[in-house]
Chains A and B, each alone.
Chain A
Amino acid sequence: DQQVKQNSPSLSVQEGRISILNCDYTNSMFDYFLWYKKYPAEGPTFLISISSIKDKNEDGRFTVFLNKSAKHLSLHIVPSQPGDSAVYFCAASVDFPGTYKYIFGTGTRLKVLA
């Protein structure tokens, strides 16, 4: 039962354009959402997060949008740069109970073309 889904395994975008990565979830108990970026041979690097009580969070070129009614979040990268090429994972945090675990999607491989 995949509670967090990233339906696009890969995405290619021209340098300077917007990259939009999408994530859907099924569990309404998730209270915090995160995006991680992963380069080959490295661990996931925290990128940006959003609480379930908000609908938008922005950090520089990165913006995360949360639509709770649709159980959907997205990551916008503007403008996209070649160094953004990586695998992006969305994750949802849930009280397990008593401990918070992250449930990850399967990832989207972003390729930014120069």
Chain B
Amino acid sequence: ETGVTQSPTHLIKTRGQQVTLRCSSQSGHNTVSWYQQALGQGPQFIFQYYREEENGRGNFPPRFSGLQFPNYSSELNVNALELDDSALYLCASSLASGGGAKNIQYFGAGTRLSVL
């Protein structure tokens, strides 16, 4: 059973550019959540995808968008990059979109994005 994998590991972009981050969910998991972790902070919820549909969004602008594919892998797209977008982006997968012990979210190692 493979865990959550994210690519790339590191990325450097300049302000105004666009970026796509990728996530493969853990085997058997149909729900993917994306989080942004700024330096010295805890992860902050961006949005969640369940069965290829966005299933909830945190306090992030529309230039943060995503996709989920039939194999439940997911992409996070960020347009018009700003300096404050520099952070660790974490993907987490779970069995389903509910809460509790059945649907604990398991995290990948993240993608470190630097915006210059």
**CB of A43 within 8 Å of the partner chain:** yes
Cβ contact of A101, chosen from B40, B45, B100, cutoff 8 A: B45
Interface residues on chain A, number (Cβ under 8 Å): 29
Interface centre among B35, B50, B56, B99 (most CB of A within 10 A): B99
Q: Is the CB of A96 within 8 A of B101?
A: no
CB neighbours of A103 from chain B (8 A): 45
CB neighbours of B105 from chain A (8 A): 46, 102
Q: Given A98-B56, A106-B40, are A43 and B90 neighbors across the interface (CB < 8 Å)?
A: yes
Q: Given A44-B43, A46-B106, are A99 and B100 neighbors across the interface (CB < 8 Å)?
A: no
Interface size class of B (residues with CB under 8 A): 20 to 34
CB neighbours of A94 from chain B (8 A): 99
Ranked nearest first, the 10 interchain pairs of A and B with the lowest CB-CB distance are A104-B42, A99-B56, A43-B107, A100-B99, A101-B45, A99-B55, A43-B109, A96-B56, A44-B107, A93-B99
Contacts from B to A (Cβ < 8 Å): 4, 6, 33, 35, 40-45, 48, 50, 55-56, 58, 90, 92, 97-101, 103-110
